[in-house]
Amino acid sequence: SDLKAFERRLTEYIACLQPATGRWRMILIVVSVCTATGAWNWLIDPETQKVSFFTSLWNHPFFTISCITLIGLFFAGIHKRVVAPSIIAARCRTVLAEYNMSCDDTGKLILKPRPHVQ
């Protein structure tokens, strides 16, 4: 019964993280696409080669803002929030390995057969 309670709590916790993880993934995708689009426009602009670096950034505010936003998101830890459920599952697998058990990415426990000692 303790194993069932642990499994239920683990699956509940991982399932609870999924909506937030999905939102963070969407934010990361949107900001990455904006940054890539802005970078493309910045690079194909013939004026970029003729002016200084900071002037070219000033001339392309969409790229500058999206790039700063992307860097800020990474400093805020978005890369950890995007993969939080898999980090928790991996840590649980490490601990459960000592008890001949494992778990899948949703938190379901996997009982391994006991090793035969001869």
Q: How would DSSP label each residue in 23-69? A: HHHHHHHHHHHHHHHHHHHHHH-THHHHS-HHHHHHH-HHHHHHHHH
Q: How many CA atoms within 13 Å lie on the side-chain side of 8?
A: 5
**Considering the domain boundaries, does residue 117 fall inside one?**
no
Q: State how far the Cα of 39 lies from the Cα of 32, in Å rounded to an integer.
A: 10
Name the amino acid, one letter, at 70. Answer: L
**Considering the domain boundaries, does residue 3 fall inside one?**
yes
Domain that holds residue 104: 1-111
- CB 96, CB 86: distance < 8 Å: no
Q: What is the pLDDT of residues 59-91, one digit of tens each?
A: 999 999 999 999 999 999 998 889 888 899 999
The whole-model pTM stands at 0.75
**Considering the domain boundaries, does residue 118 fall inside one?**
no
**Considering the domain boundaries, does residue 17 fall inside one?**
yes
